[in-house]
Amino acid sequence: MKVKVNDTELELAPGTSAIDAVFAAGYDVPYFCSQEYMSPIGACRMCLAKVGAPRQDRATGEWILDEETGEPKIFYFPTLMATCTTAIMEGMVIDTLSDEVRGAQNGMVEFTLINHPLDCPVCDKGGACELQDRAYEYGSGLSRFRFDKRHQEKHHALSELITLDRERCIHCKRCVRYFEEVPGDEVLDFIERGGHTYIGTLGEGLPSNFTGNITDICPVGALLDATSRFRGRNWEYDHTRTTGLDDASGSAIIVDARTGRIERIKAALNAEVNKSWIDDGTRFGHEYVDAEDRIKTPLVRKEGELVPVTWEEATGYVKAKLEGIADKELGIVLRADATLEEGVAAKALADHLQTGQLDHCPRPKASVLPEGDAARFTDLATADAIFVIGDVSEEVPAVDLRIKDALKGVSPPASLPHGVPIADLRLKERMPRKAGLLTVAAPYRVDLMRHAGRSVCYPVGGETAFLSALVKLATVEDELSEEEVAALGMPVDEGRALIERLAQAQNAVIVYGSFVLASPAARNAVIALAKAVKAKVMVMGPMANSYGLEAIGVMPSHARYSYQQMIRGGAKALILSGLDPAQDPSVAEALKDLELLVVHHHFANATTALADVVLPAKTGYEKDGTVVNLEGRYLPVRSAPVDGGQSEDFTGLVRYLGEALGVRLDGRSTRSAKRALNHLLAVDLRDLPDEGLLAKAKSRPLRRVSVKEQEAVSGNVLLVPSMVRPEFVSRNPQLRAAFGDVALCLHPDDADQMKLVGGERVRLSVDGTLRKATVRVSETVPQGIMLLPATPEQPVGLVSADLATLVKESSELEVA
Amino acid sequence: MIELETVKPFFTDKDELLDEILGRYPEYGRRSAIMPLLWEVQRAERHVSEARIEEIAEILGMHATEVKGVMSFYSTYHEQPVGEYHLQVCSTLSCSLAGADEMTDFLVEELGIVNGETDAEGRFSLQKVECLGSCGTAPVLQVNDTYFERVTRTRCVQLLQALRSGELPEPWRERGGDNVSAEKATLGGDDA
Ligand code: SF4
Ligand code: FES
Ligand code: FES
């Protein structure tokens, strides 16, 4: 459609909004309420313009012509129009520059500021505030308002993570719409009306995993991230765009740091991955980086004590020790959120020292690489049938949001010259959701089930049987046996209906995560199912670079060289990065027999207590490198200026150690690692674009570990994925305040039987490791099982806890 | 403190009523039943407590915050219980000019409560409201759902006397009005 904005003519697709036409033409119009990926509602009236269009004669279909010029006559709307809710028409003329329009914009700025406190000098949004900018650009700079302004609460804790200043709110309704439209839970609303309107909730907190996004989209300083409030001004922050390493989604984030400290994390836009949303774990889970007890220098044990030394001394010490250790006796293990470059470094070091004892952890028993047709986020968001096995909202919350996109049934927006449409007219408030296309299966009730047409709770630990029964339904005519029906967790008809829905869909996607990955048989079954119904698969690996590390082969050369074996006597010397296996006392015993234990970590822990050498590690915010997200997308990780002392990532460790050993190893720097990766993958990782690169890498892992069929598992504790990473929770006070401590969830009947009540702090030996948790009682937990968040050392799956070890950390009150 | 009386869910034994109200809307428009449900509660309890809001949210499959948002939009729903007689004095222009402010002052003095308050016995509540749409017969006083027009001092005294003796007079309307028949039903509801 032809549209004319001021003097610029342009061609745009029908359905485009007038505001997007204005921006596409390179002009500006102020706006507050419209927001990418959300419905335009015309609430703020800031985007006014003079709009008109030619008209056709009803009878003849001819354009009505202007008598003077002979051109089609433009009929203007009688009033100025909100461009965000106006769709373009053929020949539309939009004027944003005339005095009339400027006057109206000026008037709207004045109106919006009537009740605004103008406390910009003490407002965290100052310098990055849409209202401030627009008032400056489009306002008159003067106020004629002589009356008292409305006074409201200025420090309302909407939750532990978000503080609301009700005076600053301009009632754009972005935050309210966000909750209904994006995560699909209207947990925040306008209360009262007119000049009295304020944002509020009934009851405490905001029950959602995605609350922080409202602090990004609030156009003023009304909604603020409580972790960063009053900590700095926008122009003082260094903004680093990078990739979040909190989960496997590869969500884009902006790290705002000041004087060497991360003050806050915001969502960045990656239209093909996380759009502009991130979960609260990713946003607020950074406080540990600046924890008091962070290790910032290398330490070497001298006379029983760890004493600070230089990197050279530490690696010199390691080199000396290594001399006495034979080939194949050294183990090297990375945490699964290490970058590809760190992986290359680890491999180079292992190759140099001629050991096959190389691994990453957590590494599920089954491969995290998708087999068959891999689904991208965009496939997920446009799927017409989705089958989820697992708890996406905790494992990879970004997947949860993209599934909710699919439920709306609106395909991703076209990209305009200025980016994502500001006002996508296809989006509406309270759109009907096609819940029917979503089926969610998990061993217990998970959050996404509230949005699913059908949900299934199969028996705990029964993934293989559950999926095998489905495969049987999909591939053979035979009736299911009684056991198979039981394993299905739903009536057979429903199972058949699910298969049919998936098979008939044009674009079906099966999403699975750690519950399935805990068993190779279950993983094979889900792949068979996907083949049978011609669905694409999306695999949620446990950590940010699980995909990449497996793909480049940071893997043991033999099953007996796996991490689990290494720490139980398989290795004589160990270099562990980011892990803490000594939490398990039996492992700690085994580690004591090592000839050399090098721990590369941020904090002192049970394993550093046994280490000969402790090397300070960079956090995911301080590294440069590349990770591969669950789609197989290469994403750049960039370092923010954070004071980590002498911390190095694994490439740094290998550089120092290489120097000590007198070799130049691949991966001694990110540059050399990238060169090696280019050889390995035929992908050039230098200067990756922000949105990443979906390259066709070799899809097979270079080293495959032959997997022994695992024995039937049983247990009374199910380790479950958790958005809030339990290993950091004690050093993330704000996140902990909002989401609570590590929780041991159990059914009310079990709680009664064990004489436990909600809120009690307990200690319990789970699979040999002492875990501390707070009891949470919930009907959603199956009877006879307890749920506890998994850690890198205790990955998702069924394990046994010794109930005899259960101790209440009773407070004085209870004793009395 | 009043939570005791709200322990039992309001709609427990009102299945028929609930079915009737929900039946008015198609399944996808279930949330539309917010208004009649709130109204049922308020008619019976003279306010809608948080417990009731949560109950309604539960019935409609919504978040309680949403119900609260709708409820708070309408000044006619009360968060706190109002008295048996809810006196609403119009305080918009026509009524003000015709002496509504003086009427308010008089009521404040007589009842010992100010705008927005309820007396200790829970008998009277006083509230200034915006235009009641009866400007031609100002000043107007609305008692619960009943209109009393052209309320002079004498008529106001009479009215208070009647109310104090427990009787709500017939409405004083000059042009009939639309609540003459509805008014009985409403009073019945109030007694329940
Ligand atoms: S709090 Fe912010 S986002 Fe929410 S309505 Fe107010 S100004 Fe808009
Ligand atoms: S009315 Fe707010 S952006 Fe158009
Ligand atoms: S001003 Fe009182 S009824 Fe209109």
pLDDT, tens only, B18-46: 999 999 999 888 999 999 999 999 999 99
Does A432 contact B at CB distance below 8 Å? yes
Q: How many domains does chain A have?
A: 5
Alpha carbon separation from A390 to A474, A532, A724, A727 (Å, rounded)? 20, 20, 16, 21
Q: Is the CB of A801 under 6 A from ligand 1?
A: no
Q: Are residues A389 and A535 both part of a single domain? A: yes
Measured at the CA of A98, the angle between CA A92 and CA A100, to 5 degrees, comes to 105
pLDDT at residue B180, as a whole number: 47
Q: Residue B161 is inside which H or E element, if any? A: helix B153-164
Residue B176's pLDDT band (cuts 50, 70, 90): low
Question: What angle separates helix B182-191 from helix B34-45, to the nearest 10 degrees?
Answer: 60
Residue A142's pLDDT band (cuts 50, 70, 90): confident
> CA of A185: which chain B residue's CA is closest?
B63
Q: What are phi and psi of B163, to 5 degrees?
A: -65, -40
pLDDT at residue B1, as a whole number: 43
Q: Are residues A319 and A383 both part of a single domain? A: no
Q: Ligand 2 centroid vs A31 CA: distance in angstroms?
A: 5
Residue of minimum CA distance from atom 4 in ligand 1: A175
pLDDT at residue B192, as a whole number: 33
Does A203 contact B at CB distance below 8 Å? yes
Domain CATH for A7: 3.10.20.740
> Per-domain residue ranges for chain B?
2-73, 85-191
The ligand 3 atom nearest the CA atom of B91: 2
Residues β-bridged to residue A266: A254
Say what the pTM is.
0.92
Residue A702 falls within a domain, yes or no?
no
Residue A572, number of CB atoms within 10 A of its CB: 18
Query: What is the homologous superfamily of the domain B85-191 according to CATH?
Result: Glutaredoxin (3.40.30.10)
Residue A699 falls within a domain, yes or no?
no
Domain CATH for A443: 3.40.228.10
**Chain B positions in Cβ-Cβ contact with residue A189 (cut-off 8 Å):** 65-66, 68-69
SS3 A667: coil
pLDDT, tens only, A147-161: 999 999 999 999 999
Q: Are residues A399 and A480 both part of a single domain? A: yes
**Chain B positions in Cβ-Cβ contact with residue A171 (cut-off 8 Å):** none
User: Which ligand is closest in space to the CA of residue A23?
Assistant: 2
What's the CATH number for B2-73? 1.10.10.1590
Question: Containing domain of residue A346, as a range?
Answer: 299-361+546-694
Q: Are A772 and A740 in contact (CB under 8 A)?
A: no
Q: Pick the last residue of a domain from A31, A63, A97.
A: A97
Residue A697's pLDDT band (cuts 50, 70, 90): low
Choose the closest CB to B50 out of A185, A190, A202.
A202
Q: Pick the last residue of a domain from A68, A97, A126.
A: A97
Q: Is B73 in contact with A202 (Cβ distance < 8 A)?
A: no
pLDDT, tens only, A194-229: 889 999 998 878 999 999 999 999 999 999 999 999
Domain CATH for A280: 3.30.70.20
Which of A169, A187, A192, A193 to mutate to test ligand 1, by most ligand atoms within 8 A of the CB atom?
Answer: A169
Measured between CA atoms, how close is A186 to chain B, in angstroms? 6
Q: Kindly give the pairing relationship between strand A92-95 and strand A162-164.
A: unpaired
Q: Are residues A512 and A625 both part of a single domain? A: no
Q: What is d(CA A594, CA A470) in angstroms, rounded to the nearest whole number?
A: 47
Cis before B9? omega within 30: no
Does A200 contact B at CB distance below 8 Å? yes
> CA of B64: which chain A residue's CA is closest?
A202
Q: Are residues A353 and A264 both part of a single domain? A: no
Surface of B (4-33) touching A: CB under 8 A: 28
Q: Ligand 3 centroid vs B97 CA: distance in angstroms?
A: 10
- Asked casually if ipTM beats, i.e. exceeds, 0.90, the reply is no
Q: Are residues A399 and A343 both part of a single domain? A: no
State mean pLDDT over A684-689: 91
Q: Are residues A64 and A154 both part of a single domain? A: no
